[in-house]
Amino acid sequence: MNRESPTLQSTGESLSPLSPRAEQALDTQFDHLRRELSLVAAPPALEGKLAAAFAAHHRRQAGAARWRARLGEVFAPGVAVAASLGMAAWMMLAPVAPMLQSPAAPVASLGDDTPFIALASLERIALEPKPRVVQTTVPRMMLASYGVAVSPEVAGENMRAEVLMSAAGQPLAMRFIP
């Protein structure tokens, strides 16, 4: 059983690092080994016992897998519903910690119900020595520039606003008063 060594199709070069004589010697030895192994076989009684043991083991494994799948089908929906109800109850009944405002937040509240919208950085607002609050009126369309939906019917009307001004007269923050 002599095999040809693999070659590159385009150039015809051999891919084997062995010389043709060494390859032929190895092929001869491998052929001899294949013939000898084909003569070796397990006794029929041993082969029958191994096949029976394998089949019994496979049946046990298949039965256990079937039961695990069945239990998963039965209990998984119940566990999912229980976990969902537990999370919902925990979210509704657990006390809510007060939200702490980070210094990088874009909205600063000065004690009223309506928060101020920062027009400058919060660091600059905090460093301002004498800020003052000025009341003014602004067009309602100004709300749209801050992402608030404005009805076209009232877009042209004015509304009250408070502006936090720096000592130099620059606006630092603004809040709209309903």
Environment class of residue 126 by beta-carbon count within 10 Å: exposed (0-12), middle (13-18) or buried (19+)? Answer: exposed
Report pTM.
Answer: 0.36
Q: Domain residue spans in the chain?
A: 107-177
Q: What is the pLDDT of residue 3?
A: 55
78 phi and psi, to 5 degrees? -65, -40
In the DSSP assignment, the letter for residue 46 is H
Regions of the chain with pLDDT less than 50: 100-111
Buried b (16+ CB within 10 A) or exposed e, 24-57: eeeeeeeeeeeeeeeeeeeeeeeeeeeeeeeeee
